[in-house]
Amino acid sequence: MKYLPNIIFLVALAVGIGYFTLNIRKLIRNIKLGREIEELGDKKERWGNVVRIALGQSKMVVRPVAGIMHIIVYVGFVIINLEVLEIIIDGLFGTHRVFASLGPVYDLLIASFEILALLVIVAVVVFWIRRNVQRLRRFMNPEMKGWPKNDANYILYFEVVLMTLFLTMNATDHQLQHLGSAHYTQAGMFPVSSYLLPVFSDMSEQSLILVERTAWWLHIIGILIFLNYLYFSKHLHIILAFPNVFFGKVVPKGKFKNLESVTKEVKLMMDPNADPFAAPAEGTEVPAKFGASDVMDLSRIQLLNAYTCTECGRCTSECPANQTGKKLSPRKIMMDTRDRLEEIGKNINKNGEFKDDGKQLLDDYITREELWACTTCNACVEACPVSIDPLSIIMDMRQYLVMEKSAAPNELNISMTNIENNGAPWPYNQMDRLNWKNEL
Amino acid sequence: MSESIKVPTMAEYMAQGKQPEVLFWVGCAGSFDDRAKKISKAFVKLLHNAKVDFAVLGTEESCTGDPAKRAGNEFLFQMQAMMNIQVLNGYEIKKIVTACPHCFNTLKNEYPELGGNYEVMHHTQFLKSLLNEGRLKVAGGKFKGKRITFHDPCYLGRANNEYEAPRELLEKLEVELVEMKRCKSRGLCCGAGGAQMFKEPEKGDKDINIERTEEAIETQPEVIAAGCPFCNTMLTDGVKAKEKETEVAVMDIAEMIANAEDL
Ligand code: HEM
Ligand code: SF4
Ligand code: SF4
Residues A309 and A228 in one domain: no
Whether the CB of B171 is below 8 Å from some CB of chain A: the reply is: no
Count Cβ neighbours within 10 Å for each residue of B15-36 and write b for 16 or more, e otherwise: eeeeebebbbbbbbbbbbbeeb
Indicate if the pLDDT at residue A188 is higher than 90. no
Q: What is the average pLDDT across A251-266?
A: 93
Residues A225 and A270 in one domain: no
For residue A316, the one-letter residue type is: T
Atom of ligand 1 nearest to the CA of A53: 30
Beta bridge partners of A35: A299
pLDDT mean across residues, chain A: 92
Selecting from A254, A269, A426 the residue whose C-beta is nearest the C-beta of B160 gives: A254
User: Chain B neighbours among A 327-366 (CB < 8 Å)?
Assistant: 327-328
The DSSP output letter for A309 is -
Residues A213 and A317 in one domain: no
Whether the CB of A258 is below 8 Å from some CB of chain B: the reply is: yes
Percent of chain A clearing pLDDT 70 (strictly above): 97
Contact A290 B74 (CB under 8 A): yes
Supply the CATH number for residue A319's domain. 1.10.1060
Stretch among A284-288, A384-388, B233-237 having the lowest mean pLDDT: A284-288
What confidence score (pLDDT) does residue B1 get? 45
- Supply the ipTM of this predicted assembly: 0.94
Residues A426 and A363 in one domain: yes
In order, the DSSP letters of B54-122 are EEB-GGG----SHHHHHHT-HHHHHHHHHHHHHHHHHTT--EEEES-HHHHHIIIIISGGGT---EEEE
Determine the distance in angstroms separating the CA of B92 from the nearest CA of chain A, rounded to an integer: 19
What is the β-pairing status of strands B249-252 and B223-226? Answer: parallel
Q: For chain A, how many structural domains are there in total?
A: 2
Indicate if the pLDDT at residue A280 is higher than 60. no
Contact A254 B109 (CB under 8 A): yes
Indicate if the pLDDT at residue B99 is higher than 50. yes
- State the fold for domain B10-131: Rossmann fold (3.40.50)
Domain for residue A282, yes or no?
Answer: no
Residues A219 and A265 in one domain: no
Domain layout of chain B by residue ranges: 10-131, 137-259
CATH says B137-259 is which class? alpha beta
Percent of chain B clearing pLDDT 70 (strictly above): 98
- Residue pLDDT, tens place only, B1-28: 445 789 999 999 999 999 999 999 999 9
pTM of the model: 0.94
Stretch among A296-310, B191-205, B208-222 having the lowest mean pLDDT: B191-205
Cα distance between residue A5 and residue A227, in whole Å = 21
**Domain span at residue A221?**
4-36+51-232
Burial of A280 (0-12, 13-18, 19+ CB in 10 A): exposed
What confidence score (pLDDT) does residue A281 get? 53
Domain for residue A237, yes or no?
Answer: no
